[in-house]
Amino acid sequence: MKIAMLGSKGIPFPGEGGGVERHVEELSVRLAAAGDEVTVYVRPHLIRERGQWRGVRLLGVPSIPTKHLDTITHVFFSTLHALFGGYDLIHYHGVGPSTLAWIPRIFAPRAKVVVTFHSQDRFHKKWGFFARLFLDFGEWTAVRFPQATIVVSHALQSYCRKRFGAKTHYIPNGVAAHPKPRAELLKEFGLAAGEYVLTVARLIRHKGIHLLIEAWRNFPTDLKLVIVGAPSYTEDYQQYLQELSRGDPRVKFVGFQSGEMLAALYAHAALYAHPSESEGLSLSILEAMSYGTPVLISNIPENLETIDHSGFAFQSGDVADLADRLAAVLKDGAKRKSVGERGQAFVKEHFAWDAIAARTRRLYEKLV
C-alpha cells in the first residue's frame, strides 16, 4: 500500500514533539518494514531529515510557524500535495488536522481516509476560546469525515459513541521491548540509579508539572525530581515552572531527551510521576512501565486505563493528595518493585508496538 501520514510535526521524533509524533514514528517504520510505501509529511522548521529514513519517505512541506497556524497550514499544504501523490490511504493524526479530511474525500476519492483521534485537544490549557471551539468542531470531523476513525483509548471510544453515536476502532499507543540501558549515563546530570523521581512531558500546562513541583516543595526527601521535556509554544509556562522551583536544588530540568539517555532516565528512576489533567493515552506512562519502573499517575480515566491496577494513582489536580501519595509510595521499596514488575508484564502483553502496527495495517487492508 501507498500510505501518507499527515498531522504530526514529523519524524524522527523532534524535541518539540509529543505523543502524536512518537506514535507516527513507531507506526510508520513498522509499516515500511512490512513492505508498505509510507510518506510522512514533516515541518521543515522542525525536522532536518529528508529523503528516506528507516524506510520511510520524509517530505518537507511549509507552514506558517505560529502557535495557532503551524499545524493547520502544514496539514492544508500537505493535503494539497497528497491529492496528487497516488496514495491508497491518507491517514490524519489529531482532531485539528481531521477538519481537512473532507478534501481528499472529494478530490481524491480513490484514496481511503483514516483519522486517529489521539486526545480531546480542546481541554489543553494553552488554547484560547476560539481555538477550543475549532478543536471541538474537529472532534466531530474526526468521526464524520473519514472512512474509519481510530481511537487510542477505551475512554475516547466511549466518548465518541456517547456524544456522536460514532463507531470507532480501538487501537492504542504502544511501547517496544528495550534492553535496560547503563546507569552510568545518568552521571551527565549528576544522578544515580534509584535516587530520583522522573516525569517526561512537553512543558504545557495540562500536563500538570506545576502540580508536581508544588507537591515536591512540601515533601521532605533527598531524592531529586527530574523533569524531562521542552515547551511547545509555551515558553511562558516553562518560565513559570522555573520560578516555581527556584531555590529548590532537588528539582532538575534536563530539557528534551531521546535515545539511550531517555531510556536510562526511565529505567533507573525510583518512580515515574505523571500528573496530567488531560490525555489520550500517555506514551510516557507506557514507556516507564516497559522498563519495570513503577508509576504514580493522576486518576483521569485515560491514565488509569494504562495501568489496570499495575501502578499507583492520586486525585487529579489535588496537590495535597499527590504529596501524600509520593510519601507513601516512596517509603515502600518492596511494593514499588512488585508493582513495577507487574506493570512491565502488563504493557508487554497489551501495548506491544509490533502488534499495534499489525492491527492498524489490517484496518487499512479492509478499507483498501
| Per-residue pLDDT reduced to its tens digit, 202-216 | 899 999 999 999 999
Predicted local distance difference test score (pLDDT) of residue 319: 96
Q: What is the pTM of this model?
A: 0.83
User: Is a pLDDT exceeding 90 seen at residue 307?
Assistant: no
Cell of 99: 477538519
Q: Summarize the confidence of residues 211-229 as an average pLDDT.
A: 94
For residue 204, CA distances in Å to 235, 274, 286, 300 come to 9, 13, 20, 17
Between 278 and 35, residue with greater pLDDT: 35
Q: Which CATH superfamily is domain 2-174+352-367 in?
A: Glycogen Phosphorylase B; (3.40.50.2000)
Asked if residue 302 lies in contact with residue 158, where contact means CB atoms within 8 angstroms, the answer is no
- The pLDDT of residue 15: 59
Which triple of cell numbers denotes residue 183?
Answer: 546507569
How confident is the model over 49-66, as pLDDT tens digits?
A: 889 999 999 999 999 988
The per-residue pLDDT for 193 is: 96
**pLDDT at res. 149:** 98
- Mean pLDDT value of segment 315-329: 96
Average pLDDT over residues 321-342: 95
Torsion of CA 48, 205, 321, 175, to 10 degrees: -30
Pairing of strands 271-274, 295-298: parallel
Q: What is the dihedral of CA 132, 133, 134, 136, to 10 degrees?
A: 80
Burial class of residue 25, CB neighbours in 10 A (0-12, 13-18, 19+): buried
Say how many C-beta atoms besides its own lie within 10 A of residue 317's C-beta.
14
pLDDT band at 190 (very low <50, low <70, confident <90, very high): very high
CATH of 183-350, one of 3.40.50.300, 3.40.50.2000, 3.30.360.10, 3.30.465.10: 3.40.50.2000
Q: Tell me, what's the pLDDT at 34?
A: 96
**Strand 295-298 relative to strand 312-314: parallel, antiparallel, unpaired?**
parallel
Task: Spell out the domain ranges in the chain.
Answer: 2-174+352-367, 183-350
Helices vs strands, H then E, count in the chain: 14, 14
> In CATH terms, are 2-174+352-367 and 183-350 the same topology?
yes
Name the residue with cell 489490517.
362
Average pLDDT over residues 103-129: 88
Which of the four pLDDT bands, split at 50, 70 and 90, describes residue 259? confident
